[in-house]
């Protein structure tokens, strides 16, 4: 829902023209509607922020999983390369074994051919031949050695063939396992990459929506602030006008200002004898609530025309003469013994820090500096930095 701020302002102004002497406690309906929209949008924005955070967490998990799979695939690739190297080595070994097997087969063929030519019966002929017994023994030993060599050759040949077979099977199995693992890891990686793209897209969409809603929320908050300020300003103007009309004629006025009568008297001896520093009407008394904020007055406010003379209530030394937030052009006089008097909201200050002054000296002129809506003098008396009611020491004359 988009609000027309100009329409709301116009409604607020028209409503305020009908205000009574007291401002209403509840906000205008337009302001309530605007604040309701802000609250609703803030909740929606908070929800989007939570969703974005959740999506970011899921994206983080996906990216971590992808990183882990990439690392695993890298390891599998290295293992594949190592397996290929092993296979090449086995191929070379197989070639060597094949050559040895071929040589052993050739040798075995010769042995078998030799045995075939000699025939098994030759051994019996040799035993029956008594012409040369030593030659018979040598020939028998030769045949025995030949038979043993044939057996050993056959055993060695069978061992080489079996070894080559087992190595080939193991290597091929390992290669098949690595290939299967790599295929599965590739599938998982592709799945995670697809999820990652979805999460990134979601985070981007949420970020865009959040940005738009933040802009809308900021705009509504500015509108609310302007409308609130307008309502408050118009209400204060209406209250001020009403107070001026209703102000009682019996409000206390002070007509006598300090002179040099007590110039040489110590401050503690002047209790109840002092005059207020300026002529005017007391509109703010110590301890009573302020009209603007409701907080209690910590001194007196004496309303006057602008540029009226402000006089020191007693002798002392100026310890502060400068502008201070909330007090405007402020002058503070130290009277000794822990007592100080403060003069604020002045139009001009006529004394400087460090100057000695006498009771009745003109030290400033009244004004409304510091943002005070009324012209006059703000006046305090303090003891040990704590304010107390100035009318305990000063009299209204």
What was the pLDDT predicted at 274? Answer: 93
H/E stretch holding 35 reads helix 29-118
Please write the tens of the pLDDT for every residue from 152-206. 777 877 887 787 788 778 778 877 877 887 787 788 778 777 877 887 787 788 7
Question: What is the set of domains in the chain, with CATH numbers?
Answer: 31-223 (1.10.287), 253-395 (2.70.70.10)
Structure-token pair, residue 62: 């996906």
Are 280 and 301 in contact by the 8 Å Cβ rule? The answer is no
CA dist 392 and 287 (Å) reads 13
Q: How many CB atoms lie within 10 A of CB 47?
A: 10
Please write the tens of the pLDDT for every residue from 102-143. 776 777 677 667 666 655 545 555 555 555 566 656 666 766
| Angle, CA 376 vertex, CA 371 and CA 377 arms, to 5° | 90
Are 63 and 196 in contact by the 8 Å Cβ rule? The answer is yes
* Dihedrals phi, psi of 364, to nearest 5 degrees: -165, 180
CA dist 348 and 367 (Å) reads 8
CA dist 256 and 394 (Å) reads 11
Mention every residue, 6+ apart, whose C-beta is less than 8 A from residue 90: 167, 168, 171
What was the pLDDT predicted at 276? Answer: 95
Token pair 């930095």: residue: 385
Residue-by-residue DSSP string for 102-165:
HHHHHHHHHHHHHHHHH-THHHHHHHH--S-HHHHHHHHHHHHHHHHHHHHHHHHHHHHHHHHH
CA dist 217 and 40 (Å) reads 10
What was the pLDDT predicted at 231? Answer: 64
CA-closest candidate to residue 1, choices 39, 30, 37: 37
What was the pLDDT predicted at 93? Answer: 77
Are 375 and 301 in contact by the 8 Å Cβ rule? The answer is no
Q: What is the residue-level pLDDT of the chain in tens, covering all 397 positions?
A: 434 434 444 444 344 343 333 334 445 677 777 788 888 888 888 888 888 788 777 777 776 777 777 777 777 788 778 877 877 887 787 787 777 777 767 776 776 676 666 555 455 555 555 555 666 566 667 667 767 777 777 787 788 778 778 877 877 887 787 788 778 778 877 877 787 788 778 778 878 888 888 888 788 788 777 767 766 776 777 666 665 544 444 468 887 888 888 877 889 999 999 999 999 999 999 999 987 667 889 999 999 999 999 999 999 999 999 999 889 999 999 999 999 999 999 999 999 999 999 999 999 999 998 888 899 999 999 999 899 999 999 999 8
Question: pTM of this prediction?
Answer: 0.41
What was the pLDDT predicted at 15? Answer: 43
């Amino acid at each position: 829902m988009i609000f027309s701020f100009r329409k709301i302002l116009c409604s607020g102004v028209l409503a305020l023209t009908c205000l009574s002497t007291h401002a209403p406690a509840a906000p205008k309906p337009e302001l309530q509607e605007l604040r309701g929209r802000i609250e609703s949008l803030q909740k929606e924005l908070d929800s989007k922020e939570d969703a974005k955070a959740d999506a970011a967490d899921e994206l983080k998990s996906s990216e971590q999983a992808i990183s882990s799979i990439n690392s695993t695939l890298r390891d599998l690739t290295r293992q594949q390369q190592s397996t290929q190297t092993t296979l090449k080595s086995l191929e070379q070994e197989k070639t060597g074994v094949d050559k040895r097997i071929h040589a052993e087969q050739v040798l075995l063929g010769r042995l078998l051919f030799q045995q075939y030519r000699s025939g098994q019966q030759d051994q019996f002929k040799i035993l029956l031949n008594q012409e040369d017994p030593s030659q018979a023994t040598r020939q028998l030993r030769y045949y025995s050695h030949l038979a043993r060599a044939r057996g050993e050759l056959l055993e060695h040949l069978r061992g080489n063939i079996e070894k080559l077979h087992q190595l080939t099977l193991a290597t091929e199995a390992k290669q098949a396992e690595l290939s299967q693992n790599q295929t599965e890891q590739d599938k998982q990686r592709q799945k995670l990459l697809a999820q990652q793209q979805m999460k990134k897209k979601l985070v981007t969409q949420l970020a865009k929506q959040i940005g738009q809603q933040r802009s809308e929320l900021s705009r509504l908050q500015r509108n609310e602030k302007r409308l609130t300020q307008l309502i408050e300003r118009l209400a204060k103007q209406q209250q001020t006008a009403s107070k001026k009309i209703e102000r009682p004629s019996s409000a206390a006025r002070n007509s006598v200002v300090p002179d040099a009568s007590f110039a040489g008297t110590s401050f503690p001896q002047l209790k109840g004898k002092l005059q207020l520093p300026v002529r005017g009407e007391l509109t703010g008394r110590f301890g009573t609530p302020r009209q603007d904020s409701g907080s209690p007055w910590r001194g007196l406010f004496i309303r006057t025309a602008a540029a009226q003379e402000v006089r020191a209530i007693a002798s002392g030394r100026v310890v502060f003469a400068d502008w201070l937030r909330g007090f405007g052009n402020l002058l503070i006089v130290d009277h000794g013994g822990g007592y100080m008097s403060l003069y604020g909201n002045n139009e001009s200050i006529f004394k400087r820090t460090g100057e000695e002054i006498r009771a009745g000296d003109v030290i400033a002129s009244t004004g409304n500096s510091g943002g005070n809506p009324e012209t006059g003098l703000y006046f305090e008396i303090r003891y040990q930095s704590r304010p107390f009611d100035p009318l305990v020491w000063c009299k209204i004359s």
